[in-house]
Structure 1
Amino acid sequence: ADPQAALATAASDPDDVDAQLLAADIEVLSGLAEQAYQRLVSVVRRTTGEDREKVRQHLVGLFTIAGPEDPAVASARRALASALF
Structure 2
Amino acid sequence: MKKELQTINDQLRHLGNSIKQVNMKKEYQKKQMDKGMSPARATVALNLHQRKCVQGVIKEQGEHIGEIMKQIKDIKNHSSF
TM-score bracket for this pair, using the shorter chain length: 0.3 to 0.5
Q: Which has the higher contact order (CA 8 A, sep 6+)?
A: 2
Structure with larger Rg: 2
Question: TM-score normalised to the size of structure 1?
Answer: 0.31
Question: TM-score normalised to the size of structure 2?
Answer: 0.32
